[in-house]
């Protein structure tokens, strides 16, 4: 990891895109290499969804979700080498990755009151990052941090994203891969069509298609974009 001088101007980087494009791996690696903080906003939405499930909130009832949106205390650690997420003081890093949470997070995330709560939290965290931060999600460049110094939108084919989500293709049944692909497409549609802060590419974002790129190549590309932005300033 390269060391960043205290005199280097801070930079805010927004990385958006659908599931399976490499957002998390890329964002953490870029933040670590450049000495920046890191925030996974998707983990925050998963955290509030997990809280809703655990507290008996009907995740098919927007009104019930809205009335409970302000209750859980969600805290995100921003060290890219060891990011953390807790809910009401309890470690939630593992529980928020269950299939049940995955299947319900889009519905919970679509509720305006939830998005308003999370957006406020995300902006506060970004503002507190002294040396800058890499924030990843689906509406960072368009809604959360529209004035970010650099906006990047990662894309990839549905097939490539499904393969990444399913792990190595070797030993995987085609039916399982197809199911993953269909689930990704369904979530893309839900996230892109919601009325509040839909998944979308910001007009001034740099699009990076990761379909044919290795993770190392994607990281190198983004690091170069950040360094070019810093040099231009």
**Model confidence pLDDT, tens digit, residues 109-142:** 999 999 999 999 999 999 999 999 999 999 999 9
Side-chain-facing half-sphere of 81: CA atoms under 13 Å = 5
List the structure tokens of 157. Answer: 């084919």
Strands 37-40 and 206-209: unpaired
Q: What is the mean pLDDT of the chain?
A: 89
For the beta carbon of residue 189, count every other beta carbon within 10 angstroms. 12
Indicate if the pLDDT at residue 172 is higher than 50.
no
Determine the pLDDT at residue 7: 40
Determine the pLDDT at residue 233: 73
Strands 84-87 and 90-91: antiparallel
Determine the pLDDT at residue 115: 96
Q: What is the pLDDT of residues 202-231, one digit of tens each?
A: 999 999 999 999 999 999 999 999 999 988
Q: Which of 57, 62, 91 is nearest to 77 (CA)?
A: 91
Q: What is the pLDDT of residues 51-93, one digit of tens each?
A: 999 999 999 999 999 999 999 999 999 999 999 999 999 999 9
Determine contact, residues 44/99, Cβ cutoff 8 Å: no
List the structure tokens of 31. Answer: 């933040």
For the beta carbon of residue 125, count every other beta carbon within 10 angstroms. 18
Determine the pLDDT at residue 189: 76
Can you list the domains of the chain with their CATH numbers? 11-225 (3.40.50.300)
């Amino acid at each position: 990891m390269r060391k960043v001088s205290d005199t280097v101007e801070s930079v805010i980087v927004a990385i958006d895109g659908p599931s399976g494009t490499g957002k998390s791996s890329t964002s953490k690696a870029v933040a670590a290499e450049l000495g920046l903080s890191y925030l996974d906003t998707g983990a925050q939405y998963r955290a509030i969804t997990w809280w809703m499930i655990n507290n008996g909130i009907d995740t098919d009832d927007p009104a019930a979700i809205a009335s409970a949106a302000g209750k859980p205390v969600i805290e995100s650690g921003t060290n890219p080498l060891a990011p953390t997420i807790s809910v009401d003081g309890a470690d939630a890093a593992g529980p928020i990755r269950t299939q049940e949470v995955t299947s319900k997070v889009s519905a919970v995330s679509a509720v305006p009151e939830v998005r308003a709560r999370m957006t406020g939290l995300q902006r506060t965290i970004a503002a507190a990052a002294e040396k800058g931060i890499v924030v990843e999600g689906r509406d960072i460049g368009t809604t959360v941090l529209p004035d970010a110094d650099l906006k990047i939108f990662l894309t990839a084919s549905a097939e490539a994203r499904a393969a990444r989500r399913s792990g190595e293709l070797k030993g995987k049944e085609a039916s399982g891969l197809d199911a993953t692909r269909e689930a990704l497409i369904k979530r893309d549609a839900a996230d892109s069509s919601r009325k509040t802060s839909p998944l979308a590419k910001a007009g001034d974002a740099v699009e990076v298609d990761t379909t044919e790129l290795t993770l190392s190549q994607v990281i190198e590309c983004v690091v170069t974009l950040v360094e070019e932005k810093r040099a231009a300033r």
